[in-house]
């Protein structure tokens, strides 16, 4: 018998510290598989966020830099401009990327910074115990919206892919999810495309991955996957929002 | 001939592999508890395993290795 | 050697380039914008990187990234922009990364004014960012010194693996003076084996990080850093002494204030007052050694600053109650005149001759 599935080399041989059923683990694996398949571990540098994935420098085998909350795209810009032949990626949650880091995210995209952002959107702040995120849904109950998110008071969620797709510097903006095997394989394709676009110097790429947070949603793994399907996918439709390869030359 | 091997130390008993398996041959063990206090998943009927790796693909802890 | 007339801000930029800096990240703010503009013109010509960031926050984080990759990286700003960099500087210090940060001080607090000030002394030496750490702080007082200190700043940033600040002010930044451009002095380049530059499959991965959740680990790390700071205190203090050997009253002033004070010292000497000047060049480590030397014979100290009195705290700490320490300052963007300082000298020396 031959091994047809095992842990990728780009993941260090240590247990993940994420909650049971947390999709961070799947996404880490997809990024690591991509790094393995593209053979780029030796010249890849990842940027860790502040959030549940704050210690992902303990999981990825490539060189890693820890960034202040929200600043990962700026740190990534410094890393990439320093050594442009290196592949630089950030891995960020919804607070990191779309709250405190909104400016850094938008401007990295606007500059067409040749980096890849993996955006883990689970509509909540996990690390700090379940507060409202900029991507929390209308009426969603969180620790800081205990009566449900009232849009007239706390505003509306931000659709990041749609927003970044309006920028010329964005080469790829794609939203995927990991709630079943087919979607995981599709997410992997998107992540691999994003890294490939970076290798091909096409510009800024972001893959938004709709994810679960069983602990703070107060649901088990199976219920969380269903909640994601029922609530998140309708608000955040899956798909490609910008792909530079599809932008025809004469439409510029 | 195929099998999914669950690393019982890494498994957090989340059950995503159980849901994903098209042959329904993975269950969370009721008798075993690992050192972290979880009931790890286990393959109960290897003869039905096709090595599709759906379980491994859905496992958030990369706890499953698949052989075919 | 031929001299060139250069503006302070631009001289600083040129010196950074000569020191091997090829990565500058900045943002416009008066009175330091010329530094960024100079970099934007020069860097592309020499294969370097000038990037105008979306904010001072983004700029300091880009410095963090470039530094983490092992490059000499710099940013510059002025007072309100330096406040924005607080977080980034703390992370740079906590990650043991080298970096050079320039503050061309202006009136504050808040949006303040655009005229020169020295009111960021506390910020530079006490409170640049949260946590236990220090920056090496250099205070130039001439355009030539701006150039010379920049190379020292980069060398020491690399040697000690810490952020270094050049504390300038709007007057120094804007003024033009003849400078001698010292030809490419081979500055001390260190090998950065810790850099996150890609492991090339030759080593285990490097992690540049400032998170240490175990209190014992964090304490041990901070204590190590403070041992390093102790070494710096012993070896890196720098100050200039002018007519201090027989001085009855010593003025302590840095940067623009020191130039005015020097003139005041000359005026005082003409009146028969034995005045002298200690001009700190490092603000951290504070040049206590220089003050200590003169305690036996000096009768009083006068600290002159363009602020409500910030460095005076350090003068008092050095003097440690052994001699009176007076303070004279102007703030809001006003530069004191030599006459004002002379008036203070006369007041203090009173009947002293």
Helix C143-160 with C8-18: angle, nearest 10 deg: 40
User: Do chain C and B touch: 3 or more Cβ pairs under 8 angstroms?
Assistant: no
Distance (Å, rounded) from C-alpha A196 to C-alpha A188? Answer: 12
Q: Which residues contact C6 (CB under 8 A, 6 or more apart)?
A: C14, C143, C176, C177, C178, C179
Burial per residue of C271-308, b for 16 or more beta-carbon CB atoms within 10 angstroms, e otherwise: eebbbbbbbbbbbbbbbbebbebbeeebebbbbbbbbe
DSSP state of B48: G
pLDDT of A21 > 90? The answer is: yes
Q: Which residues contact B10 (CB under 8 A, 6 or more apart)?
A: A15, B61, B62, B63
Task: Give chain A positions within 8 Å (CB) of C209.
Answer: 48, 57, 64-66
B14, B39, B68: best to mutate for the A interface, most A CBs within 10 A: B14
Q: How far is A25 from chain B (nearest CA, A)?
A: 4
In the block, tokens 């990650």 appear at: C95
Band the pLDDT of A250: cuts 50, 70, 90: very low
CA distances from A203 to A37, A115, A246, C30 (A): 21, 7, 14, 33
* Helical H segments across C95-141, by residue range: 121-125
pLDDT of B1 > 90? The answer is: no
- pTM of the predicted model as reported, rounded to 2 decimal places: 0.95
Say whether A44 and C73 touch across the interface (CB within 8 A): no
C20, C59, C62, C202: best to mutate for the A interface, most A CBs within 10 A: C62
* Stretch (H or E) spanning B55: helix B54-58
Distance (Å, rounded) from C-alpha C71 to C-alpha A83? Answer: 9
Q: Which of A41, A43, A55, A197 has its CA nearest to residue A117?
A: A197
Q: What's phi and psi for C82, nearest 5 deg?
A: -70, -35
Give the range among A78-82, A244-248, C178-182 with minimum mean pLDDT.
A244-248
Q: How far is A113 from chain C (nearest CA, A)?
A: 11
pLDDT of A233 > 90? The answer is: yes
* Stretch (H or E) spanning A90: strand A87-93
- Chains with 3+ CB–CB pairs under 8 A to C are A
Partnered with residue A240 across adjacent β-strands are A174
On whether the CB atoms of residues C319 and C278 are closer than 8 A, the answer is no
Domains and CATH numbers, chain B: 3-67 (3.30.70.20)
Distance (Å, rounded) from C-alpha C299 to C-alpha A164? Answer: 67
Q: Which residues contact C150 (CB under 8 A, 6 or more apart)?
A: C12, C15, C16, C19, C100, C166
* Helical H segments across B21-58, by residue range: 54-58
On whether the CB atoms of residues C166 and C150 are closer than 8 A, the answer is yes
Helix A181-199 with A24-38: angle, nearest 10 deg: 40
Task: Give chain A positions within 8 Å (CB) of C88.
Answer: 68, 71
Band the pLDDT of C2: cuts 50, 70, 90: confident
Residue A74 has its nearest CB partner, among C65, C201, C210, at C65
Average pLDDT, chain C: 95
pLDDT of A100 > 50? The answer is: yes
Which tens digits make up the pLDDT trace of B18-61? 999 999 999 999 999 999 999 999 999 999 999 999 999 999 99
Q: Does C100 touch chain A (CB under 8 A)?
A: no
Say whether A65 and C73 touch across the interface (CB within 8 A): no
CATH top class, domain A24-244: alpha beta
What ranges do the domains of chain A cover?
Answer: 24-244
Q: Does A2 touch chain B (CB under 8 A)?
A: yes
Say whether C65 and A83 touch across the interface (CB within 8 A): no
ipTM here: 0.96
Domains and CATH numbers, chain C: 3-235 (3.40.50.970), 240-349 (3.40.50.920)
| Chain A residue with Cα closest to C75 | A78
Q: Does A182 touch chain B (CB under 8 A)?
A: no
**C292's tokens:** 């200590």
Task: Give chain A positions within 8 Å (CB) of C48.
Answer: none
């Amino acid at each position: 018998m031959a091994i047809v599935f095992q842990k990728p080399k780009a993941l260090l041989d240590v247990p993940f510290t994420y909650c049971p059923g947390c999709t961070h683990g799947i996404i880490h694996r997809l990024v690591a598989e991509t790094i393995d398949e593209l053979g780029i571990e030796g010249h890849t540098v990842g940027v860790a966020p502040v959030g549940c994935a704050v210690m992902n420098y303990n999981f990825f085998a490539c060189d890693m830099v820890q960034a202040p909350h929200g600043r990962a795209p700026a740190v990534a810009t410094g890393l990439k401009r320093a050594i442009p032949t290196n592949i630089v990626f950030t891995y960020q949650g919804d607070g990191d990327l779309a709250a405190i880091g909104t400016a850094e995210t938008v401007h990295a995209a606007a500059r067409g910074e040749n980096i890849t952002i993996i955006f883990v959107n689970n509509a909540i702040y996990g690390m700090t115990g379940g507060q409202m995120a900029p991507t929390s849904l209308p009426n969603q109950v969180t620790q800081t919206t205990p009566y449900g998110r009232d849009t007239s008071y706390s505003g509306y969620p931000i659709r990041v892919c749609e927003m970044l797709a309006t920028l010329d510097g964005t080469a790829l903006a794609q939203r995927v999810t990991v709630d079943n095997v087919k979607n995981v394989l599709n997410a992997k394709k998107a992540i691999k495309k994003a890294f490939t676009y970076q290798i091909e110097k096409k510009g800024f790429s972001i893959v938004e991955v709709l994810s679960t947070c069983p602990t703070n949603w107060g649901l088990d793994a199976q219920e969380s996957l269903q909640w994601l399907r029922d609530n998140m996918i309708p608000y955040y439709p899956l798909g490609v929002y910008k792909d530079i390869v599809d932008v025809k030359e004469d439409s510029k | 001939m195929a099998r999914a091997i669950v690393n019982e130390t890494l498994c957090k008993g989340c059950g995503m592999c159980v849901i994903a398996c098209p042959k329904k041959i993975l269950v969370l063990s009721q008798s075993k508890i690992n050192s972290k206090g979880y009931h790890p998943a286990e393959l109960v009927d290897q003869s039905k395993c096709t090595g599709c790796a759906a379980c491994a693909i859905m496992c958030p802890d990369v706890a499953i290795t698949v052989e075919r | 050697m031929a001299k060139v007339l250069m503006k302070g801000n631009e001289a600083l930029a040129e010196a950074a380039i000569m020191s091997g800096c090829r990565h500058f990240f900045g943002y416009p703010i008066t009175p330091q914008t010329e530094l960024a503009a100079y970099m934007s013109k020069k860097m592309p010509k020499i294969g370097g990187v000038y990037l105008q960031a979306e904010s001072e926050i983004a700029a300091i984080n880009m410095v963090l990234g470039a530094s983490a990759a092992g490059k000499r990286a710099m940013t510059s700003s002025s007072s309100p922009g330096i406040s924005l960099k607080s977080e980034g500087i703390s992370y740079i210090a906590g990650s043991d990364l080298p970096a050079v940060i320039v503050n061309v001080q202006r009136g504050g607090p808040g949006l303040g004014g655009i005229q020169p000030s020295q009111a960021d002394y506390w910020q530079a030496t006490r409170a640049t960012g949260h946590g236990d750490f220090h920056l090496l702080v250099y205070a130039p007082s001439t355009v030539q010194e701006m150039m010379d200190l920049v190379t020292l700043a980069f060398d020491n940033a690399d040697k000690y693996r810490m952020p270094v600040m050049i504390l300038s002010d709007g007057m120094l930044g804007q003024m033009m003076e003849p400078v001698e451009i010292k030809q490419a002095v081979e500055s001390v380049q260190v090998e950065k084996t810790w850099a996150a530059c890609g492991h090339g499959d030759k080593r285990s991965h490097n992690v540049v990080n400032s998170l240490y959740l175990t209190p014992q680990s964090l304490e041990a790390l901070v204590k190590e850093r403070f041992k390093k700071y102790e070494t710096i205190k012993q070896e890196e203090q720098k100050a200039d002494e002018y007519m201090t050997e027989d001085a009855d009253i010593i003025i302590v002033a840095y940067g623009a204030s020191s130039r005015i004070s020097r003139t005041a010292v000359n005026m005082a000497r003409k009146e028969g007052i034995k005045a002298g000047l200690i001009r700190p060049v490092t603000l951290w480590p504070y040049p206590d050694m220089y003050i200590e030397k003169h305690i036996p014979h000096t009768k009083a100290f006068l600290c002159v600053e363009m602020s409500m009195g910030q460095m005076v705290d350090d003068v008092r700490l050095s003097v440690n109650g052994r001699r009176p320490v007076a303070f004279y300052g102007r703030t809001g963007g006003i530069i004191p005149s030599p006459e004002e300082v002379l008036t203070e000298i006369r007041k203090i020396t009173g009947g002293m001759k």
